[in-house]
Structure 1
Amino acid sequence: MKMTLTGATGFLGSALTAQLRTDGHELRILSRNPRGRPGYFAWDPVAGQPPEASLAGADAVIHLAGEPVAQRWSPAVKAAIRSSRVDGTRHLVEALTTLSPRPQVLVCASATGYYGDRGAEVLTEQSKPGRGFLPDTCKEWEATADLARALGIRVVKLRTGVVLGRGGGALAKMLPPFRMGVGGPLAGGGQWMSWIHVQDMVRLIGWAVSNQGVAGPVNCVTPNPITNKDFTRILAAGLHRPAFFPVPGFALKLLYGEMASVLTESQRVIPQAALDLGFQFQRPELGEALSDLL
């Protein structure tokens, strides 16, 4: 297939790009810094529409671009997080209106942050959104992606949890303190974490592109969410290190400000849509996923 990707140089995008190329797909990459590389096109998602040549003839568009959430939030950072997702997606959909033929499918990133802080409530794609900055951003982001449905394009919205992989993402931030033996649960550790192995995430995206029965929101998480306390215990055991240093919530707030809510809010998310449509996870249990990654 001919595919156009955004966010292809990030942690997840790099893994996805490598796999798609291995599978023989023809890729065109939208990037802020194409550096003259073949198949790369310059695009600032906030500034306007991508070049028509980057989309012409594409069978699928995979849209992962967005300002990183894992940074201390200021009003300017929050505006950039929202704009890079909502305005960037709107500009992409506007560019699709001029194409003939149009792509068959738009696979657009979203996040489990859609659900907000929900305690131990089991959440599926049918659950209502939460309240707050991230839920509101995700709702607007997904609604903007859905505008492509009026163009006859199948739209899939990837509500992604914590993606675990080598060399980047959440795990890369967790490993240094745990390897030094100073890791521990965050804010008591009772919050639920919804996670996925990076290779299962890559497989889910490919599955969403090729399976015409997949549409709407898809929770991109393992069927086995886990509390932060249990996650800490399993990670420490995998590294043969203790985990005796809990991090209190006030310390996270001092360090990260409002963004600390991402680390302390509880989301017990189940990938019901993927399970109902027969997707098979290769690394559904945290122990085996970390054993592979470590």
Structure 2
Amino acid sequence: MKKQNNKQDQPLTSILKCRDVLVKFGDFTALDRFSFGMADKEIHFLIGPNGAGKTTFLDVLCGLTKMSDGSITFQKNYSIDDKKEFEIARKGIGRKFQAPSIFPHLTVQENLEVAMKQEKGVFSMLRAKMTKKQKEKIDRQLEIIGLAGKRDILAGGLSHGQKQWLEIGMVMMQEPELLLLDEPIAGMTEEEEEKTGSLLRELKQDCSLIVVEHDMDFVREYAEKVTVMHEGTLLSEGTMEEIQQNDKVREVYLGSKGADAHA
């Protein structure tokens, strides 16, 4: 008999529902009636060939690209169909782009301070005295991203991986309910990749994650659910084990990697 207090046995709460999302750029269809859904506190990976529509879908979710048709509901009933980027961000969708975007001439801690207090000018933010709660929030985020020992170092002196973690921390200072990550391990060393995977699992305690990634070893290790996109459509969806056994996926995307997936 299942235990009633086991969190994994409880019904999953949906945080995002996308129906028949259509995005056209002139005669080119980037997303072709693409539907997608995910549970709260889930690590959900998007994979597929270049040009499959993965990044375009993230652009739609954060308001950077507008839909031609379709509907997107965030949390229970919040429609983001016609919302601006800042409105979507305030509602709880945060975006980390592929290339790190930090303030290299500010310290690691100052970067987090700026991210936490976006409603003011940069220099006035840094001069403002932090409350005890704000300081605790920064301290916790520094621990999570593994940069507590580098809080006073200029961000420009960090390694590539550390800069990626810092920007993730900056987005997390806004307390998003859904975090969008575009190829977070691109250019990282193997050690940095492992630390990033551990970071994703840590972040899952506070928010849901959609991750676009090409590295299949990383996807196999850290994905809870995988959606495969192809030419702007949904090709397949399920666990990584289920995806690897799908003949269409193996033919279109995984290729020999799919055949070697069980090794």
TM-score (structure 1 length as normaliser):
0.26
TM-score (structure 2 length as normaliser):
0.28
Bigger RCO of structures 1 and 2 (CA < 8 A, at least 6 apart): 2
Instruction: Report which of the two has the higher share of strand.
Output: 2
